[in-house]
């Protein structure tokens, strides 16, 4: 007797960014993780997934080399540092979805000047939540074909 199994996309689909990072995308588990500070491995995984070198990711997330070294030793980021890592991850996830998970195209778009952001590179506009929201708003407009 043979066993017939139904196809389940959940069993065969690639893990999403949040699963790869080991953090919740939203909700109480995310809030708790942010308050406690992300594990240092989130940084390593985010660098690998985004194809940014660690120095570039540290700069984007406003993490000085000495701070990054201390966090590597302690194994955990502060709440504010975790929030900056989450901000980048959110923009990266949205941009990656815009480019149909083409990470090379996503990285190129994030690192090159974009007309819709006043010729600033999206990656250079993540220092504040207002700038990050402007990048997310542009991604939303592009997804819906609104270019102006």
Within-domain flag for 56: yes
Task: Count how many domains the chain has.
Answer: 1
Within the chain, strands assigned E span none
Integer angstrom CA distances of residue 4 from 7, 9, 50, 78: 10, 16, 38, 49
User: Could you tell me which of 36, 40, 50 has the C-alpha nearest to residue 102?
Assistant: 50
Q: Which tens digits make up the pLDDT trace of 40-71?
A: 999 999 999 999 999 999 999 999 999 999 99
Within-domain flag for 43: yes
Within-domain flag for 4: no
Within-domain flag for 10: no
Supply the range of the domain harboring residue 120: 17-143
Within-domain flag for 76: yes
**Which single residue is written with the structure tokens 């709440």?**
79
Within-domain flag for 12: no
Look at the pTM and tell me if it is higher than 0.95: no
Q: Which tens digits make up the pLDDT trace of 79-135?
A: 999 999 999 999 999 999 999 999 999 999 999 999 999 999 999 999 999 999 999
Within-domain flag for 148: no
User: Could you tell me which of 33, 31, 53, 32 has the C-alpha nearest to residue 43?
Assistant: 53
Within-domain flag for 11: no
């Amino acid at each position: 007797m043979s066993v017939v199994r139904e196809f389940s996309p959940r069993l065969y689909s690639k893990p999403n960014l949040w699963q790869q990072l080991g953090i919740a995308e939203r909700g109480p588990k995310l809030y708790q993780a942010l308050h406690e500070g992300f594990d240092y491995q989130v940084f390593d995984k985010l660098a690998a997934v985004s194809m940014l070198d660690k120095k570039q990711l540290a700069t984007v997330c406003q993490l000085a080399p000495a701070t990054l070294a201390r966090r590597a030793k302690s194994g955990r980021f502060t709440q504010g540092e975790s929030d900056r890592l989450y901000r980048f991850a959110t923009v990266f996830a949205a941009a990656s979805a815009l480019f149909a998970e083409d990470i090379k195209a996503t990285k190129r778009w994030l690192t090159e000047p974009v007309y819709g952001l006043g010729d600033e590179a999206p990656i250079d506009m993540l220092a504040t939540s207002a700038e990050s929201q402007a990048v997310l708003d542009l991604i939303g407009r592009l997804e819906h074909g609104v270019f102006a």
